[in-house]
């Protein structure tokens, strides 16, 4: 049986949308009270399981989780490009159109990196199909601000998912926390703020989430969030969440599928992530036959589904007709601690990644939703 979302459960799509509702005095699904200033801190790669396991190194975050143990789900694929688009729009991947770390651009018949594709001039400006919540904030008379690292300021992906927000670059975790605290302390200002912290995910990819390097970063994040929490007044609320969780994949479990393998028979393009492959097939290939071949090989290590079965199970939410061809005809989602590579991908930097994500395990899909300030009541 394929995994799928829990009907009616809160998800990442609710977070920024409900902050906007709170800032405009409208009822919110998450039960947020009205505020003048609402903020979302997104800590890339902070899974609920890893936070619980390292609670002693993150006392501010752990205390907030103990006070109200909100755990929500992030969309699948559990990858940054998909999740940030979901957060920014409040829509499912099948609606907003970002369906993987890499995805097929059907008209050009090429696989494009969804984070860097706009920078390379490949993806069209309307690839993100729906308006952002930052644009909605502006239409409601609020200012929208995004705090992130300077290196992302001019990226095409940033321009797409942060449409409508004023970008304020801040180099370090501490710089972003200080800027966020100052914004939320300004009682003359009303609006919506988004702060992005990528450093934890970067440490996990390089060293693993069980490493000392990851602990060092979570301690920095925790101290920075504590700085923000202490500066909040009664009319400001903050939600902290993540785009996905993470798990460590040892070298022996990074599985390289050789170029001549029968598993590639009928496969024309490979997209997605190493823990959730999206296989685009030749016109004469039978998806059921390709799926059966993969399932015979991977066994209990992965869920294997045709595109139709995955959509029926709710993997991408409601899927617009224009988005359907972007999704592979066969999907291979790791259910154990494995990752799958082509020879070419393994030879690059991706083959050295320790911390990984993309699939349906609880370590990847379950993320914290922590409340501070007016939202903590």
Interval 8-21: pLDDT, tens: 889 999 999 999 99
Which pair of tokens denotes residue 313?
């199970």
Cα angle at 279 between 276 and 284, to 5 degrees?
A: 160
Which pair of tokens denotes residue 193?
């703020």
Amino acid 69: pLDDT: 67
Is pLDDT above 90 for 66?
no
Amino acid 231: pLDDT: 92
**How far is Cα 97 from Cα 160, in angstroms, rounded to an integer?**
12
Helices (H) and strands (E) in the chain, counts: 14, 18
pLDDT in tens, 97-138: 999 999 999 989 999 999 999 999 999 999 999 999 999 999
pLDDT in tens, 260-286: 999 999 999 999 999 999 999 999 999
Domain 12-99+112-247+360-376, CATH among 3.40.50.300, 1.10.357.10, 3.40.720.10, 3.40.50.12160: 3.40.720.10
Percent of the chain whose pLDDT exceeds 90: 95
pLDDT in tens, 223-260: 999 999 999 999 999 999 999 999 999 999 999 999 99
CATH number for region 251-355: 3.30.1360.110
pTM of the model: 0.97
Domain extent listing, the chain: 12-99+112-247+360-376, 251-355
- E-strand ranges in 36-97 read 37-43, 71-73
**How far is Cα 222 from Cα 59, in angstroms, rounded to an integer?**
7
**How far is Cα 97 from Cα 316, in angstroms, rounded to an integer?**
10
119 Cβ contact list (under 8 Å, min separation 6): 155, 156, 157
């Amino acid at each position: 049986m394929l995994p799928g979302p829990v009907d009616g459960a809160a998800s990442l799509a609710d977070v920024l949308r409900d902050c906007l509702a709170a800032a405009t005095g409208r009822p919110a699904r998450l039960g947020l009270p009205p505020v003048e200033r609402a903020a979302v801190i997104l800590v890339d790669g902070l899974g609920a399981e890893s936070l619980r396991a390292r609670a002693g190194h993150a006392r501010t975050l752990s205390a907030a989780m103990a006070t109200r143990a909100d755990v929500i789900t992030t969309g699948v694929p559990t990858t940054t490009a998909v999740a940030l688009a979901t957060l920014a729009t409040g829509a499912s991947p099948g609606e907003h159109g970002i369906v993987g770390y890499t995805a097929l651009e059907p008209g050009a018949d090429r696989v494009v990196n969804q984070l860097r594709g706009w920078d390379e001039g490949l993806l069209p400006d309307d690839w993100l199909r729906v308006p952002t919540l930052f644009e909605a904030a502006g239409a409601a008379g609020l200012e929208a601000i995004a705090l992130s690292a300077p290196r992302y300021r001019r990226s095409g992906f940033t321009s797409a998912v942060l449409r409508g927000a004023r970008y304020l670059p801040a180099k370090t975790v501490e710089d972003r926390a200080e800027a966020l605290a100052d914004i939320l302390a300004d009682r003359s200002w009303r609006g919506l703020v988004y702060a992005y912290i990528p450093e934890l995910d970067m440490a996990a990819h390089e060293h693993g989430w069980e490493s000392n390097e990851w602990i060092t970063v979570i301690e920095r994040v925790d101290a920075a969030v504590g700085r923000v929490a202490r500066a909040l007044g009664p009319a400001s609320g903050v939600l902290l969440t993540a785009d996905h969780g993470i798990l460590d994949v040892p070298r022996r479990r990074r599985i390289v599928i050789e170029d001549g393998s029968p598993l590639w028979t009928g496969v024309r393009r490979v997209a997605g992530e190493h823990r959730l492959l999206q296989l685009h097939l030749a016109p004469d290939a039978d998806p059921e036959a390709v799926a059966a071949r993969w399932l015979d090989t991977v066994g209990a290590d992965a869920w294997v589904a045709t595109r139709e079965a995955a959509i029926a199970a709710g993997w991408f939410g409601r899927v617009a007709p224009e988005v359907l061809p972007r999704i592979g005809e066969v999907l291979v989602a790791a259910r154990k601690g494995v990752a799958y590579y082509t020879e070419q991908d393994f030879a690059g930097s991706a083959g050295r990644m320790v911390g990984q994500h993309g699939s349906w395990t609880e370590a990847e899909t379950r993320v914290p939703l922590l409340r501070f300030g007016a939202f903590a009541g």
